[in-house]
Amino acid sequence: MSNLIYEAVNWNKPTSELAQVFWDQQWKQIWFPEEIAVSKDVKQWQSFEHQDTYKKVFAGLTLLDTVQTNIGMNRVAAYTTDLQEKAVLTVFDAFEAIHAKSYSYIFTTLCTNEEIDELFEWVKKNEYLQYKANKIGDIYNSIEEGDSESLWKAMFSSVMLESFLFYSGFFYPLYLGGQGFLRNSAEIISLILRDESIHGVAVGFFAQNLYKQFSKEKQEELKLWGYELLLDLYQNEMNYTDDVYAETGLSPEVKAYVRYNANKALMNVGFESMFPEEEVNPIVMNGIRNEGSTYDFFSQKGSTYAKAKVAPITDDTFNFNR
């Protein structure tokens, strides 16, 4: 038996600047795919011309979320030393698992078993998809105990995955949903996005704290490494976009959106943006605003309800200072 001293996580004493904030925010927005009536999309789905693209987009997202659940958050959490941040990352990991499962929920509702099996085969065979999974997966797998450089690289990659690589896929449901098409599947995506945007900000924030501890020279070296990785992934992403969106004619718009998010990902880790500003389709832009759109009370569940903060009713509750 080993003779280590195990330390218990003590939330009474903040050890991380923002762990509590990220923790609260994530739990506040808990959701489950079963709350969304995807079956209402079935009718539109049946006469949809680009089923193939749509399915592949979702299959690709499933792979990324699977990698992020099983390796990404998992490994980053394992090697993060602050116990509160570790807890936050473990919670994020659980949400990644919900995301990966929610795509299956959409597949189950819209597709036949045979189609679904084919899709998961496609995932294994698509070179661009496998390329990004491998590229990121390798970095996750090379974290070493006590080596903050490898941990920073993993965090950087995690932010790239969540704030950048997902978006070639998110584009399509947002684009269609904003035009009244397959709205419920789009609702699931907007809920996933709401989570991914905290993950991107949080991991990016942890990465920035780590980065500050490096020497100037090391910082320069890592920055270079980061931009090179981004460019590498970007090239692959362009090919992936062409491949998946070929039949829809949407490639140029998807690419603009990918560049927009690449810049956002860089901002999350505290780096300068890389691509010049350009116009992104406003329908897609409006799809990612999470402030809580106004819902028709007779229609769907809004994405704006969240966990309550409980405080007891006291005598003072009955005093109104008016």
Partner 1 sequence: MKTYLKLNNDVLNSYSTTGQLELEKDREATRRYFLEYVNVRLRYFIDIEEKIRYLVDEGYYEKEFIDMYDMEFIKQLYKKAYDYNFRFPSFMSASKFYDSYAMKSRDGEEILEKYEDRIVIIALYLAQGDTVLAERSVEAMMEAYQPATPTALNSGKKARGELVSCFKLSMDDSMNSISENIGYCLELSRLGGGVGVNLTDLRPLGDPIKEILNRASGVIPVAKLLENSFSYSNQLGQRNGSGVVYLNVFHADIENFISSKKPNADDKIRLATLSTGIIIPSIFFELMKRDKDIVLFSPYDIFKEYGKRMSEISITEMYYELLDNPNIRKIKRLNARKLYTEVKKAQFESGYPFEIFDDNVNKVHPLKNIGRVKMSNLCTEILQVQETSIITDQDKPNEYGLDVSCNLGSIDIHAASKVKDFEKLVDTAMHLLTNVSQMTHIKNVPSVAKANKLMHSVGLGCMNLHGHLVTEGIMYGSKESVDFMDCFMEAMNYYSLKSSMEIAKENGESFYRFEDSDYASGIYFDQYVNKIEEEVSPAVLKALGNVPIITTKMWETLKQDVMQYGLFHSYRLAIAPTGSISYIRSCTASISPSTERVEVRDYADSRTIYPMPHLTNENSHLYVEAYDVNPYDLIDLYAASQKHVDQGISMTLYVTDNWTTEQLAKIYIYAWTKGIKSVYYVRQRLQSLEECVACQI
67 near 137, Cβ under 8 Å?
yes
CA nearest to 192, candidates 20, 30, 21, 28: 30
The dihedrals phi and psi of 80, each to the nearest 5 degrees, come to -70, 135
Q: Pick out residues in 65-124 that bind partner 1 (CB under 8 A).
A: none
In whole angstroms, the minimum distance from the beta carbon of 92 to partner 1 comes to 13
> Cβ neighbours of residue 68 under 8 Å, at least 6 residues apart?
96, 100, 158, 161, 162
Q: Pick out residues in 40-59 that bind partner 1 (CB under 8 A).
A: 40, 43
> Cβ neighbours of residue 319 under 8 Å, at least 6 residues apart?
none
Q: Pick out residues in 199-238 that bind partner 1 (CB under 8 A).
A: 201, 205
**Per CB under 8 A, does 29 bind partner 1?**
yes
In whole angstroms, the minimum distance from the beta carbon of 176 to partner 1 comes to 10
> Cβ neighbours of residue 95 under 8 Å, at least 6 residues apart?
26, 195, 199
Nearer to partner 1, 81 or 299 (CB): 299
Query: Is 295 a catalytic site residue?
Result: no
**Per CB under 8 A, does 183 bind partner 1?**
yes
> Cβ neighbours of residue 251 under 8 Å, at least 6 residues apart?
241, 242, 245
**Per CB under 8 A, does 28 bind partner 1?**
yes
Nearer to partner 1, 274 or 285 (CB): 285
Residue 216, amino acid: K
Nearer to partner 1, 160 or 176 (CB): 176
The set of catalytic residues is 103
**Which residues sit at the interface with partner 1, rule CB under 8 A?**
17-18, 21, 25, 28-32, 35, 40, 43, 177-180, 183, 197-198, 201, 205, 281-283, 285-287, 289-300, 302, 304-315, 317-318, 320, 322
